[in-house]
Amino acid sequence: MMIHIPNVLTRDQVLRCRQMFERVAWVDGRVTAGPQTSAVKRNLQIPEDDPEGLECGQMIVAALYRTPLFMSAVLPHRILPPMFNRYDEGMTFGSHVDNAIRRIRATGESLRTDVSTTLFLSDPEDYDGGELVAEDTYGEHAVKLPAGDAIIYPATSLHHVTPVTRGARISSFFWTQSLIRDPLRRGLLFDMDMAIMRLNHDHPGHASAVQLTGVYHNLLRQWSEV
């Protein structure tokens, strides 16, 4: 399930990150690639311990926790500190599946990557190519969003970034360990939460909304790993 999360960052926040990134020293993106992905990864990244990247990453995480759609769809337990990449002309990232486990550099803890997120920091008109393409049983789905918007998708999915042919594509990427490991259960809870919100909107105070909210939380209590 791919879900578009609009306006995670404001335009001012995007501009602030972009201005900070003009001061950083970008490095070869293969520094964080495993044996499988290093052969197909051609981009640049900000070092994980760069102060500018850490500041922008903290801004993103704080914004995510204020974004109801992200919270409902992902049910985050832990979010890996966001990282940042840049695709200049000719750069690309071939088809790959994200690593199942990532290490949190600051703490040494391990995190299971249930949900992948890409948050765009360049507007679509700033570059050609550079679409994120995720593959599933229904085919390929290409995504290219306004700066400040994010796309979430299963970390288990095969995906790639098409070659950039003009300009530069800058984005943040990171993973979340969800409270709900099973993607089917996570999807059912998301659908139920959306239905409850619609019911509350269309029929405020309806007894059915209260009952369904109880069912939602009891399922969350039953399925959650916390």
What's the pLDDT score for residue 105?
Answer: 85
* Mean pLDDT within 39-65: 96
Give tens-digit pLDDT for 85-120: 999 999 999 999 999 999 998 889 999 999 999 999
| First vs last C-alpha separation in the chain | 23
Give tens-digit pLDDT for 1-36: 899 999 999 999 999 999 999 999 999 998 877 777
Q: Is 193 annotated as a binding residue?
A: no
The total of other beta-carbon atoms located within 10 Å of residue 109's CB is 10
DSSP annotation of 66: T
Residue 175 banded pLDDT, cuts 50, 70, 90: very high
Is 133's pLDDT higher than 90? yes
Alpha-carbon distance values, 39 to 11, 29, 42, 106 (Å): 35, 11, 8, 27
Residue 132 banded pLDDT, cuts 50, 70, 90: very high
All domains in the chain, ordered by first residue: 3-178 (2.60.120.620), 183-223 (4.10.860)
What secondary structure, in 3-state letters, does 129-189 show? ECCEEEEECCEEEEECCCCCCEEEEECCCEEEECCEEEECEEEEEEEEEECCCCHHHHHHH
Q: Is 203 annotated as a binding residue?
A: no
Contact present, 119 and 171 (Cβ < 8 Å): yes
Is 209's pLDDT higher than 80? yes
What's the pLDDT score for residue 24?
Answer: 95
Q: What is the pTM of this model?
A: 0.94
- Mapped onto helix, strand or coil, the DSSP state of residue 208 is helix
Give tens-digit pLDDT for 210-224: 999 999 999 999 999
What's the pLDDT score for residue 32?
Answer: 77
What's the pLDDT score for residue 180?
Answer: 98
Is 39's pLDDT higher than 90? no
Contact present, 124 and 159 (Cβ < 8 Å): no
